[in-house]
Structure 1
């Protein structure tokens, strides 16, 4: 089961069905967009086994250019997505699926190797590979969700320093390999 009202924060325990939900939506998007979508990755907390998460599936779609991403917006809007312009993320096009009362999917379109691509994958992979860090992140998320159940912006701000430190560490370790 997926879906959460926009602006609210509710964490649920990890569900095995999230992988299948991601795969079904990725296949649907591939059918809709064809070869304009080079690859689709499952990112975010629902992609990390054992991590509590908001029940919204995060997808990262790779396209050849941001122009291609912008061209896909109207196609995706015809299939249940809403374009959500980003003020602070320049290298992606962001869309949400589902009505505001029950968002089910977030889709970031970006180019391979962009900061968005590298950071989202590095963060996901680091949490998957480092259970102690994933556990600390889960604890922080639970604390913030309890404090800010109706204030998604404060919840997100509360996580930002932790997330940035893990992304930096993950990218640094990637460079060392």
Structure 2
């Protein structure tokens, strides 16, 4: 969960991490079944990523899901398939990351509070309303490969899992202007672990 407060007119956020919860696996499977029913293409892949996918790792209790499509040209089909579902399409990110489509799953009782798609960069979906973050990318893109590699490496390497966990806890004690700032602050740690994972993979 993310708590916000005002300090001299600047909105600041504090990241609150929850201890690992086995229910996160169940929640992912529930969303996976729902998503599978949305797609007619058997080539679509659906993976659980992020901290909620790694046993023993604390996390913001929002499930991260990675959808893999055969090619970038298939991304509009993902947008069409999820239309009308409780997943809000954040169209504003398309320009910065044209190879990805990003969706926020929200509680069905609050979905009417948000336009779909969200095209206003300044409109934020409240954290307490979110259930999942969905990233749709081509399976040929490094985004797909690196997110799965990072997840699998943490699952298999307790020392790096501990290093990542400790980094997150230190950063969660600070205040941030946005969740993206918190994510950026983790980047050195993430890249260190990811580069190690790539090295091990090639050896």
Q: TM-score range by the shorter chain?
A: 0.7 to 0.9
1:11: which partner in 2? 17
Separation (CA, whole Å) in 2 of partners of 1:106 and 1:13: 19
Partner of residue 49 from structure 1, selected from 47, 55, 78: 55
Bigger radius of gyration: 2
Q: TM-score, normalised by structure 1?
A: 0.88
Separation (CA, whole Å) in 2 of partners of 1:134 and 1:87: 33
Query: Could you list the runs of 5+ residues in structure 2 that have no partner in the other structure?
Result: 5-12, 112-124
Runs of 4+ residues over 3 Å off in structure 1: 3-8, 86-90
Q: Would the aligned equivalents of 2:14 and 2:174 in 1 still touch at CA under 8 Å?
A: no
Query: Could you list the runs of 5+ residues in structure 1 that have no partner in the other structure?
Result: none
More strand by share: 2
Q: In structure 2, do the counterparts of structure 1 residues 150 and 17 end up closer, same or farther at CA, with 3 Å as the change threshold? A: farther
Q: TM-score, normalised by structure 2?
A: 0.77
Q: Does 1:137 align with 2:164?
A: yes
Q: Does 1:166 align with 2:193?
A: yes
State the number of aligned residues.
174
Partner of residue 35 from structure 1, selected from 41, 46, 63: 41
- Provide, for residues 106-134 of structure 1, a one-character-per-residue CA deviation record: whole Å limited to 9, x for no partner: 11111223111111001001111111111
More helix by share: 1
Q: Does 1:92 align with 2:119?
A: no
Q: Would the aligned equivalents of 2:70 and 2:140 in 1 still touch at CA under 8 Å?
A: no
Structure-to-structure mapping, 1:51-90, within 5 angstroms? 51-84=57-90, 85-86=93-94, 88-90=96-98
